Amino acid sequence: MGAIIAIVSQKGGVGKSSIARSLAREAAAARLAVKLADLDTQQGTCLDWARDRNALGIDPAVSVESYRNAAAALAVAASVDLLVVDGPARTSAGTLDLARAADLVVQPSGPSADDLRPAIREFRALEKEGVPKGRLVILLNCVGSDAEESAARAFVEEAGFEALPGALPERVAYRMALNAGRTMTETTYKDLNKKAAIMLQSLIQKAAIA
């Protein structure tokens, strides 16, 4: 069975689907057999993005499918090297099913308390249900400054959870790339691409050794 990375969020607007798409693209570029499973069926963000990407002929191609529930998505893991799951729009019973099966559970979070507090509450709930803390990681996203990153990281660590090294800055270029069927490693700015690639590749490596 391939590795499973679940991207989840207690609230919208923190980059859940953006991270899921970008992560799947990095795995495909590394010649891994990867599937991006979209459980956010109401919005279908990943499916729409995949159609745009395919229509434009952007390489590498990324295999994306929509699934009605976690069990259906998780069944695919046996046929790929990496299954990336874009979790439901809000946490649910399906989130717990994903977390229990995943090698790594990633919550993107902005640096504000309004983003961080729900993220910590969600991880505490998963931990209470038996999900090992070592599988739970926060990815800091939409960060405006080094000071903001430091404060957010301290908040996460004080709560007893791990924040992935580094942070993704708030940049229009990331949104523009995603709007055009590309990802956070495919902007027109090499520095932004590199920053995103380092974080995403560390997630793949972390899941592989979990």
Q: What is the phi/psi pair of residue 163, to 5°?
A: -105, 125
Q: How confident is the model at residue 43 (pLDDT cuts 50, 70, 90)?
A: confident
pLDDT at 11: 78
Q: How confident is the model at residue 210 (pLDDT cuts 50, 70, 90)?
A: low
How many C-beta atoms lie closer than 10 Å to residue 75's C-beta?
A: 12
- Cα 133–Cα 137–Cα 140 angle in degrees, nearest 5: 150
Percent of residues, the chain, with pLDDT higher than 70: 97
Please report how the helices 172-179 and 16-29 are oriented relative to each other, as an axis angle in degrees rounded to 10. Answer: 70
Task: Calculate mean pLDDT across residues 200-208.
Answer: 89
Q: What is the side-by-side strand order in the sheet with 34-38?
A: 63-66, 34-38, 82-86, 3-7, 104-109, 136-140, 162-163
> pLDDT tier at 40 (50, 70, 90 boundaries)?
confident
Which whole number is the average pLDDT over 181-193?
Answer: 98
* Per-residue pLDDT at 209 exceeds 70: no
Span 71-107, pLDDT tens digits: 999 999 999 999 999 998 766 677 899 999 999 999 9
How many other C-beta atoms can be found within 10 angstroms of the C-beta atom of residue 100? 17
36 and 64 Cβ atoms separated by less than 8 Å: yes
Catalogue all structural domains in the chain, each as residue range(s) with its CATH number: 3-208 (3.40.50.300)
What is the structure's pLDDT at 44?
82
Q: What is the mean pLDDT of residues 170-183?
A: 97
pLDDT tens for 105-160 read 999 999 999 999 999 999 999 999 999 999 999 999 999 999 999 999 999 999 99
Helix (H, G, I), strand (E, B) or coil at 83: strand
Please, are residues 56 and 87 in contact by the beta-carbon 8 Å criterion?
Answer: no
Please state the pTM of the whole predicted model: 0.95
